[in-house]
Structure 1
């Protein structure tokens, strides 16, 4: 007897009854259902990120000052300088296809390859140590950049930075600005913040160069959620953070000096660049 394949690959006899055809189609659909179930349950090599915490570097964290300075007079400050972070699923967390699809459909989520978020081949504990080392290196660079900008002697002025629960180098710019505000304000007796809540992100080199970071768009959402009205963003990432959350002004920066100049102008109602 000659049979012809149906569209799904099952063999159906010519002239078979509708009931037989239905049984064949149902049986041929079983492997597809099983395949979809396996795909749905299999972990994928992605991390799903969302807006994380923001912390005022001019304030305190877990009972202690985020920025402590000795060897120079320190100003009383008003306003806030908030570093912003993202929260991402860890490298050992199994991310399923449903979470990936959900993340792709939402503006408050970002789906990224795990290797783009975490160093490959490391355990959770090793990654935590790696991020802590990056944070410490960033703090040293932030201190060096701020003191150099102000012409302060690092041998006399000692800065201690303490922020728990956050790793990586992306708070460098905000640490530097916090040091500048505590030591010099806007340079004319006022606050560098102008009394506003300023948030931002960006790495910092000892020479004051501001570098790009990951998850900047999610960080703008965290900043606005926590009351910031201005967000400092590495200029190279302007396209990634547009459009900004309603009520949040985006200010692009490339150097610590440029960021300080922008905040001073903003405090005085002057012209400030925008993304």
Structure 2
């Protein structure tokens, strides 16, 4: 059997030791360098049937407005700012927590925009969503948009994901459950979903975080776009998940819930 020379025996561990130096340096650099991610967590919930500061979230003129006793809570998530420096430790921590979500920054914020432009973009999306929510609700109720005027006000929240809740809030204020009662049945209902003028409900991001915010703030049921049922189930806790695809379906589900009838579930 041929034995290695003394020099040969020492060469391999020395080479391994030297190669570990740049690897350790690389890991140190990665750990300190900002990464192109955003970390999100459960955010605020707001009752669209209530007030935003001193003003009503939903103000209506041109038609009788009824009093409401329940709550319809839209839910937001909070993400780290576009220019925030996210490092490896933040990413690893987010991966191992159910109340955090690590997402590519470009999937949360439009690329190539300043913080100011991003804020303007999000507010524009919210305004478009509010217009669609108003159109969908008045169309559902068969009310003339030239006679009935709706003003929606919600500060510090951007994006289109409150559309469904805005539409439901308008319907509850104008028509309730259609039989003299509240559409909510007096309950605290939360939910999320975009809305189109024809009443189609669309999927949104961050559902797993939104269910946690809804349960934290005392909601008993959560309206979720049907395509995101499985995502919502993972963090729903004690929430009753109600899948929806249209505004009409959401109204019918809430009416059934208020009367103790059969309600769709995820």
By the TM > 0.5 criterion, same fold? Answer: yes
1:243-270, CA deviations, whole angstroms, 9 ceiling, x for partnerless residues? Answer: 3433210000000000000000000000
Distance of 1:111 and 1:144 partners within structure 2: 35
2:70–2:184 Cα contact (<8 Å) kept = yes
* Structure 1 residues 101 and 244: alpha-carbon distance in aligned structure 2, compared to 1, 3 A threshold: closer
Aligned match for 1:220, one of 207, 211, 227: 211
Aligned match for 2:112, one of 115, 121, 129: 121
Q: Which secondary structure does the structure 2 equivalent of 1:9 belong to?
A: helix
1:63 Cα deviation from its structure 2 partner: 1.1
Q: How many residues align?
A: 260
Equivalent residue for 1:17?
none
- Is residue 80 of structure 2 the alignment partner of residue 74 of structure 1? no
Equivalent residue for 1:239?
230
Unaligned segments of structure 1, at least 5 residues:
11-24
1:181-226, CA deviations, whole angstroms, 9 ceiling, x for partnerless residues? Answer: 0000000000000000000000000000000000011000000000
TM-score, reference length from structure 1: 0.91
1:71 Cα deviation from its structure 2 partner: 0.3
Unaligned segments of structure 2, at least 5 residues:
1-5
Q: Which secondary structure does the structure 1 equivalent of 2:15 belong to?
A: coil
What stretches of structure 1 move > 6 A for 4+ residues in a row? none
1:146-165, CA deviations, whole angstroms, 9 ceiling, x for partnerless residues? Answer: 00000100000000000000
1:58–1:81 Cα contact (<8 Å) kept = yes
TM-score, reference length from structure 2: 0.94
Equivalent residue for 1:6?
12
